[in-house]
Structure 1
Amino acid sequence: MKKRIFLLLCLFISVKMYAQDRLITNIGARKALSLNGTWQYIVDPYETGFYDYRYKELDEKNPDAYWNTDIPKNKTEKKEHGYIDKYSLQVPGDWNHQKPEFLYYEGTVWYRKTFDFHPADGATKYYLYFGAVNYRADVYLNGKKLGMHIGGFTPFNFAIPTSLLKEKGNYLVVKVDNKRGADEVPTLNTDWWNYGGITRDVKLVEVPPTFIQDYVIQLKKPEPGKAPSASPEVEGWVKLNNVKAGELINISIPELKFKKQIAATGQITKVSFNLPKLQLWSPEHPKLYQVSVSAGVDKIEDKIGFRTIEAFGKQVLLNGKPVFMRGICIHGEIPLDVRRAVGPDDAKQLLNQAHELGCNMVRLAHYPHDEAMTRMADSLGILVWSEIPVYWTINFASPAVLDKAKAQLKEMITRDHNRASIIIWSVGNETPISPTRTDFMHKLIIRAKELDQTRMISAALEVNYGSMKDMNIVDDPLGAFVDLVAFNEYLGWYGGLPDQCRKTNWSTPYNKPLFISETGGGAKGGFHADSLTRYSEEYQEWYFKEQVAMLKRMPDSFVGITPWVLNDFRSPKRNNPVYQEGWNRKGLYDDKGTKKKAFYIMQAWYKEIENKFSH
């Protein structure tokens, strides 16, 4: 038994690490066969297709395994599973919104897709890529297991032996399990709905034998407090898969008439060069350049913006100049359709709502959003806080949980490290203070800085309202390690009434910028009463009026805010049968897309701030 557990643990570790270390970036620029569309499914709450009746994992030869064909060899063979068109789901997409019986379902669903394959001429490699699957994915092709991935919001891919692919009738099966777990990231308790399914794109990616797996092409971080020079330096690297000695790497930016050729020095080759006459990326001028990277026969293109960002003293400097972040928190959800957000159209809808509010920033809570969001933010000029779901009561004492959090952190950063819009990597939200927790979070911060030294690292800290005084000091020990001291405060919703804000001020003992990562109160859209009535639009309006008055007294170190939240969103924790009905009602837009009265309070203040900074 111990030997079996050890072997399973080794398999888990090897598969997990494989998915991390082999991640291919910029999938949109690759030659690929989309496997999106209609997939057949089997609902399997007892995981009958994965375990036998002794609860042992079925092997690949077992005909009862749901990753094996459902077609009997002859009329005497017993088959107790099958895939038919009557039971089908659309991919990408969560299963919860697609069928009424899935509304509250958490468990295992088997997805099957058949496809034909026409191999390219010459020696070529193939990878099966998933944008995200929530939460655990076991992937099988033509009866063979390709691997397993844990984590519901980050991409992964598996190499496919060419010999495994067939010209006709390939049989792809994915076991998707979204059950929450005490030792998972996120853990059992969250304040959002746990949408299950293959929620982002699936592609069969074709690459040559030697190919560009990943790259970083970003401005070098300047000297503290300094703006980029007239000819700023780019610093980064190119990672080649199956690199050959002396392989030539070419980087070009046609608009700048720039070309550079470098000989590969190994799997990862460092690059450094200057770019004269460069236009810097900013919210006011979101300039993107077409950048081409090639090696051998492989060539990819990307749209990249160039800017610098840093916490300097008590300010945040964008391109060497102070910036005030007029933000909003966003969940990756389209409330009107009650579904997980995916793709460019959803990204544009959400970011346009933020833009109408007057935002120059969004906090993508509480997990990495679809890649379309960060790319759209690049093009629209919206600053981004991107976060992993280390949320509330993670098992901070578990090394395995820390490994899972680190894996998600790496996959988030790897996917988006060329996005100019992202200025903050966040390692968590509202984690309770203890030495064990602080050590856990500190290790994540160290890892984030190892992966990316050009951006700020932060976390949304929690405020204790037990002893509110005229001065509230944000003194979480994690503040010593973050670049930006961010905290969530709900004074007037969870702590007294909104007029409590009139005698409250905020500070921190850390000589760092101070940022409010959440504040808000709930209101049922269309419910009107006096301002003392909870869940009325008037109460929420009063809340934000008092908040804005308090914010105007904030110290000079106050650099921005992301109120909670853009839209109402689904949450099983919110069960008032009249005003909530399974929804968190703190949105400035309701679940039908209608602006609440509080929207206009924040919009007016953001306009005031924008005018102040523009002058």
Structure 2
Amino acid sequence: MGLVSKNIKIKSFIGFFLFFQVIFLCPLRSQNVIISNTSSRNSTSLNGKWKYVIDHYDAGQLGFLPIYTNLKPKDKTDRVEYSFDQAESLWVPGSWNTQKPELFYLEGTIWYRKTFDQENISKDKRYFVYFGAANYLSTVTFNGKILGKHEGGFTPFCFEITKLIKDKDNYLIIGVSNTRASDYIPGKVTDWFNHGGITRDVKLIEVPTTFISNYFLSLDKTTLNSKTKIIKGSLTLNGKAAGQKARVTIPELKVVKEVTIDSTGSCKFSLASNKLELWSPENPKLYDVTIESGTDKVTDRIGFRTIEAKGKQILLNGKPVFLKGISLHDENPLRKDRANSKDDARLMLGWAKELGCNFLRLAHYPHQENIVRLADEMGIMLWEELPLYWGIDWGNAKVLQKAKDQYSELINRDYNRASSIIWSIANETSPSPTRNQFLISLVEHVRGMDSTRLLSAACKKDQAVDGHPDDDYTLGDPIMKYLDIISFNEYLGWYGGLPEECRKKTYKASMEKPVIVSEFGGDALQGFYGDSLTRWSENYQENLYKENLAMFDRIDGLAGLTPWILTDFMTPLRQLPNVQDGWNRKGLISEKGIKKRAFFVLQKYYKKK
């Protein structure tokens, strides 16, 4: 081997080694920049077809050459072992799994590339690339520079590219990995499909050098019964903000407030009105709100309401409300893909309304922003949560920090949505000292950011087994002490026992708090019929719902239900041939959009509530 050839190999190895250190060993994270309400910003959609390269070994390189540098051979002697220009395309937003048959079960890394030009770049503007979500671990690069990484498959993130953007031939390359790991959120095992890729909108956002980063507005509940109601607010600018003025306007209420930004770049304020209409499912009133500062202006539509727990009741605007709910995955079963559009949201909320719901549990992770905003308009209350689910590494301080980061991203996105009334911190987790302390720390973090909503968690009853022989069940998970609502999942009649056993069961909570049954149900293959004891039949599911509903009606303090689940959904855990075939069949609506018999049982029940 010649000296020149050896030098080339050494240089290639050194280049790969340095890249590996940067990408895989350095703790790069998304920039600590918040850009809320992106629909109101000056933005350019980067959705559409993106070129892609598969990185089967999660190495970030092919042929010892980093993929993010977008290399092309300079001449016929040059060696480059990948090509975005000649690569196939994937649609963004959308998971890669259902776009190409060969990618259906892929768990690994794909590198995406989008090229674009940007006219009229201004020195008085700042530019950001914004991702609604990408599942799960994202490495973002722009024009050959590594911007950072983001962990979490369901929350938004952005990076500034002001110093890198050009008039022509920009290339945004992002490596997305949906590989599962024990120190991720969720952990290694879930009961839903691991949709990989850029699953929500991508935007190029243009803002002034000092811009409105984020704002929180909510009704002061101490003024709920006063003629003059007070709206509490806070505002944060990004840039040279100290001393800058800002104006908050609600034209319909004839409210205008001028504020001064302090040295931290933020300020708090209050607005008073004696004409404020409260948001509710019966009257989902939203107000146009405008915030201006310098040359920046953001508009939003915000509803104002209070939500609290008092004794064994949930009070909306000071009045008891029964949460007539259903659980939902962020998936459009008709398209077999992650939900990512207003049409997807409208389809799901339309079915929920037809069912008679005023409440949805958005399980088991943050859903797309479109559904939260549409719920505001349609008057549907929401439970939102993180995927703190099976197999979480509770004793790992880094995992706790990830949970806090992801909840911060969710709260910053949805704080101003009146429909969102409950933050849930976990699902089907078993008490232990490390788990308890983890969740207590998360409760403190969430309450520190948002005291206007209720906290809950989908817990288990004390009797660990579904169908446990005891007739008197108890609800005493120690984490319930720190929550506003007692919620639990119960699958009596499906995973244990038969439906008629529901007639002799009772449930008693250890605390005087409202109770939500956060999951119950059973599978049915739409179109398969038998008698009420024939598993997988619509008849079995129909009877199970009747027995479950009668059983839960006997719970003292029952304040709501979110049965599992509105539609059948994809999951590799469910493989029974000719019945499940990769679908969890607990939906009240099939993957073809056909309603099962149990849909009408629950619909009838809710009409009486």
TM-score for both structures, normalised by structure 1: 0.93
Structure 2 CA distance for partners of 1:484 and 1:109, relative to 1, 3 Å:
same
Match of 2:282 in 1: 284
Conserved? CA contact 1:385–1:425, under 8 Å: yes
Structure 2 CA distance for partners of 1:118 and 1:335, relative to 1, 3 Å:
same
User: Per-residue CA shift, 1:137-164, capped at 9, x if unaligned?
Assistant: 10111100111100000000011133x1
User: Shift in Å at residue 7 of structure 1?
Assistant: 8.5
CA distance in 2, matches of 1:10, 1:105: 24
Matched residue type, 1:469: D
User: Shift in Å at residue 246 of structure 1?
Assistant: 2.1
Match of 1:183 in 2: 183
Structure 2 CA distance for partners of 1:270 and 1:11, relative to 1, 3 Å:
farther
Counterpart among 38, 50, 74 of residue 39 in structure 1: 50
Q: 2:232 matched to 1:235?
A: yes
Cα root mean square deviation, aligned? 1.8
Conserved? CA contact 1:465–1:495, under 8 Å: no
Match of 1:24 in 2: 35
Matched residue type, 1:608: K
CA distance in 1, matches of 2:20, 2:119: 40
Match of 1:326 in 2: 324
- For residue 212 of structure 1, give the secondary structure of its aligned residue in structure 2: strand
CA distance in 2, matches of 1:165, 1:303: 32
Aligned counterparts, 1:439-454, within 5 A? 439-454=437-452
Aligned counterparts, 1:396-435, within 5 A? 396-435=394-433
User: Shift in Å at residue 80 of structure 1?
Assistant: 0.1
CA distance in 2, matches of 1:213, 1:531: 56
Conserved? CA contact 1:222–1:308, under 8 Å: no
User: Shift in Å at residue 284 of structure 1?
Assistant: 0.5
Q: 2:531 matched to 1:530?
A: yes
CA distance in 1, matches of 2:21, 2:101: 41
Matched residue type, 2:569: F
User: Per-residue CA shift, 1:340-362, capped at 9, x if unaligned?
Assistant: 10011100000101110000000
Match of 1:335 in 2: 333
Conserved? CA contact 1:392–1:432, under 8 Å: no
CA distance in 2, matches of 1:468, 1:350: 37
Match of 1:581 in 2: 581
Q: Which runs of 5+ in 1 are unaligned?
A: 54-63, 610-615
Conserved? CA contact 2:36–2:214, under 8 Å: yes
User: Shift in Å at residue 83 of structure 1?
Assistant: 1.2
- For residue 531 of structure 1, give the secondary structure of its aligned residue in structure 2: coil
CA distance in 1, matches of 2:444, 2:59: 42
Aligned counterparts, 1:167-206, within 5 A? 167-206=167-206
Conserved? CA contact 2:290–2:299, under 8 Å: yes
Matched residue type, 2:150: H
Match of 1:59 in 2: none
CA distance in 1, matches of 2:205, 2:137: 21
- For residue 38 of structure 1, give the secondary structure of its aligned residue in structure 2: strand
- For residue 261 of structure 1, give the secondary structure of its aligned residue in structure 2: strand
CA distance in 2, matches of 1:319, 1:5: 54
CA distance in 2, matches of 1:221, 1:468: 45
Match of 1:304 in 2: 302
CA distance in 1, matches of 2:22, 2:141: 19
CA distance in 1, matches of 2:415, 2:225: 19
Match of 1:61 in 2: none
CA distance in 1, matches of 2:184, 2:363: 17
Conserved? CA contact 2:357–2:606, under 8 Å: yes
- For residue 375 of structure 1, give the secondary structure of its aligned residue in structure 2: helix
User: Shift in Å at residue 268 of structure 1?
Assistant: 1.5
**Bigger Cα displacement from structure 2, 316-325 vs 227-236:** 227-236
Match of 1:395 in 2: 393
User: Shift in Å at residue 428 of structure 1?
Assistant: 1.3
Matched residue type, 1:31: N
Structure 2 CA distance for partners of 1:324 and 1:366, relative to 1, 3 Å:
same
User: Shift in Å at residue 72 of structure 1?
Assistant: 1.1
User: Shift in Å at residue 507 of structure 1?
Assistant: 1.6
User: Shift in Å at residue 248 of structure 1?
Assistant: 0.9
User: Shift in Å at residue 332 of structure 1?
Assistant: 0.4
Match of 2:542 in 1: 541
Q: 2:249 matched to 1:252?
A: yes
CA distance in 2, matches of 1:510, 1:521: 29
CA distance in 1, matches of 2:509, 2:115: 57
User: Shift in Å at residue 465 of structure 1?
Assistant: 4.5
Matched residue type, 1:23: I
Conserved? CA contact 1:230–1:278, under 8 Å: no
Conserved? CA contact 2:63–2:81, under 8 Å: no
Match of 2:352 in 1: 354
Structure 2 CA distance for partners of 1:111 and 1:9, relative to 1, 3 Å:
closer
Structure 2 CA distance for partners of 1:43 and 1:228, relative to 1, 3 Å:
farther
User: Per-residue CA shift, 1:102-148, capped at 9, x if unaligned?
Assistant: 11111111100100011344511111100000001101111001111
**Bigger Cα displacement from structure 2, 39-48 vs 391-400:** 39-48
Conserved? CA contact 1:192–1:572, under 8 Å: yes
User: Per-residue CA shift, 1:363-421, capped at 9, x if unaligned?
Assistant: 00000000001001000000000001111110101111111111111111111000000
Match of 2:561 in 1: 561
Matched residue type, 1:247: Q
Structure 2 CA distance for partners of 1:596 and 1:8, relative to 1, 3 Å:
closer
Give the % identical residues.
Answer: 48
CA distance in 2, matches of 1:51, 1:80: 6
Q: 2:363 matched to 1:365?
A: yes
Q: Which runs of 5+ in 2 are unaligned?
A: 1-17
Q: How many residues align?
A: 588
- For residue 376 of structure 1, give the secondary structure of its aligned residue in structure 2: helix
User: Shift in Å at residue 166 of structure 1?
Assistant: 1.3
CA distance in 2, matches of 1:241, 1:554: 50
Structure 2 CA distance for partners of 1:567 and 1:112, relative to 1, 3 Å:
same
- For residue 363 of structure 1, give the secondary structure of its aligned residue in structure 2: strand
Matched residue type, 2:171: Y
CA distance in 2, matches of 1:243, 1:534: 65
Match of 2:381 in 1: 383
Matched residue type, 1:474: L
Q: 2:259 matched to 1:262?
A: yes
Conserved? CA contact 2:333–2:567, under 8 Å: yes
Match of 1:143 in 2: 144
Match of 2:13 in 1: none
CA distance in 2, matches of 1:535, 1:192: 19
Match of 2:8 in 1: none
- For residue 262 of structure 2, give the secondary structure of its aligned residue in structure 1: coil
- For residue 292 of structure 1, give the secondary structure of its aligned residue in structure 2: strand
Conserved? CA contact 2:37–2:413, under 8 Å: yes
CA distance in 2, matches of 1:345, 1:468: 46
- For residue 311 of structure 1, give the secondary structure of its aligned residue in structure 2: strand
Match of 1:79 in 2: 80
CA distance in 1, matches of 2:430, 2:553: 29
Aligned counterparts, 1:82-121, within 5 A? 82-84=83-85, 87-121=88-122
Matched residue type, 1:517: S
**Bigger Cα displacement from structure 2, 84-93 vs 109-118:** 84-93
Conserved? CA contact 2:70–2:84, under 8 Å: no
Conserved? CA contact 2:19–2:66, under 8 Å: no
CA distance in 2, matches of 1:526, 1:10: 52
Conserved? CA contact 1:39–1:89, under 8 Å: yes
User: Per-residue CA shift, 1:230-286, capped at 9, x if unaligned?
Assistant: 221111200011143321110001111111111112312011121221000000000
User: Per-residue CA shift, 1:313-347, capped at 9, x if unaligned?
Assistant: 21111000010000000000111211110011100
CA distance in 2, matches of 1:202, 1:8: 22
Matched residue type, 1:539: Y
Matched residue type, 2:144: G
Matched residue type, 1:477: P
Match of 2:6 in 1: none
Match of 2:601 in 1: 601
Conserved? CA contact 1:393–1:432, under 8 Å: no
Conserved? CA contact 1:470–1:504, under 8 Å: yes
Match of 2:454 in 1: 456
